[in-house]
Amino acid sequence: MTETASRPLHLPDTGGTASRPAHLPGPGDTADAERADDRAQRTVITAAMTGNAGYGLLSTITVLYFSTFLHLSASRIGLALTVAGVGAMLIGAPIGRLADTVIPPHIGAAVSYLLLAATEAGLLLARSFATLLPVLLVASAFQLSAATMRQTIVARIGGPRPATFRAKVSARSNLAMVLGMGASSLVIATESRQVYFAAILACCVLTAVQGLLMFTIPLPGPVPATAPDPGGAQQAAGPEGTRWEALRDLPYLTICALYGVLTVFEAVVTVALPLWIGQHTTAPLWLIAVFGIANALSIAFLLTGVGGRVNTPRKAGRALVFGGAFSGVFCVLVVLASGLPTAVAVTVLTAGVIASIAAELLTAAAEMELTMTLAPEHAKGQYLGLSQSTLTAGLAVGPSVATLACVTWGQAGWLLLAALFTAAGAAGPAITGWARRTRS
């Protein structure tokens, strides 16, 4: 087993002789490394919370800004967001490879966030669909680049359990995002273009601060290359052998594709559920906001604990089974809530939302464990860039899939998605076992 990225073994240059002993880290070196990791972890969490507070505000108000002040239709807005997301997904693995081989990931993350902040300010200059689309494309690319670099940092400083640290970062980020979403309600209530402008600029400042914080993160050096053989054991590899190994690692690709399918569930909850409650149930509309807050707070406070328990690939495979099943249960309960008396409908929908929270916790924890643990140490960036690409793809096409299946097709579409999510989760143990065997 190779050293974890946060505990590198530094060997001096022997100048071609074998007689000079290597320097092995002593207790003082280990203590210094642990203190550096602790500082780096605190900085990553602070930066993530700062940026996500802005993201929670920006993601909530931009759609209304586009429709109210740019006078774009919902279909045009959806098309722009989808094209931007799909276009950005193409750069995940290449950006990750840069983090492994050329650009220190904290520098890459810092620059990406600063460029993202500048691009977000460009939203204020957009006046039509034609001028908005390029801004969204560039912003999505910088966002994916920053996320890939940040996940590489998490993998290097997360200690022996980087997936658990990643869950902690995600949970704290989610809490900050809730605060940003709360602030967005004040912006929306004003219906003032000037207030929207000020809010978007505030988001840009928060993103820039996130980038500046990334500059201060101390990172260990790169890990020597030992490439996993998708057909069997690990083997030594040079630069040519590891250039695009993530794209040749079929088990890892399959896991990413599986999670990409399950990611569509997020759009079902955030897009299809509010529409269904308003059009097909007797439940009060304020329930939509309550469900959204409950979901966000549950993820913020429970994800770290769940991530700590889903701490092996085998457990992650089982978590996918239950996550897919809970997703299916949610879809079925939403269908059953149609046409029921108000009190009964609220009860059924509440049970469904509880199932959706369980599904999201389990699938997110499983994805973090699998994508972090199964990625080889020397190519974390490349592998995590690939996983970020599939996540971006799922989030990009999710709203269109959710709207088509749940709104256009109605109850049949909900049941079809229930079967899809359940089947995808059920495949988790087999695919995880395949991936584990290629790394044994």
* Domain 243-440 CATH superfamily: MFS general substrate transporter like domains (1.20.1250.20)
CATH topology of domain 34-221: Growth Hormone; Chain: A; (1.20.1250)
In our burial notation (b when 16+ CB lie closer than 10 A, e otherwise), range 191-215 reads: eeeeebeebbebbbebbbbbbebbe
Burial (0-12, 13-18, 19+ Cβ within 10 Å), 313? buried
pLDDT score at 232: 44
CATH 1.20.1250.20 positions along the chain are 34-221, 243-440
**E strands in 204-261:** 226-228, 234-236
Query: Which helix (H) or strand (E) segment is 40 a member of?
Result: helix 27-69
pLDDT score at 38: 84
Biggest CA–CA distance in the chain, Å, is 83
Distance, CA of 171 to CA of 302 (rounded, Å): 8
Distance, CA of 65 to CA of 188 (rounded, Å): 9
Question: To 10 degrees, the CA torsion angle through 383, 386, 391, 394?
Answer: -150
Distance, CA of 209 to CA of 206 (rounded, Å): 5
pLDDT score at 30: 55
- Can you list the residues of the chain whose pLDDT is less than 70? 1-36, 220-242, 440
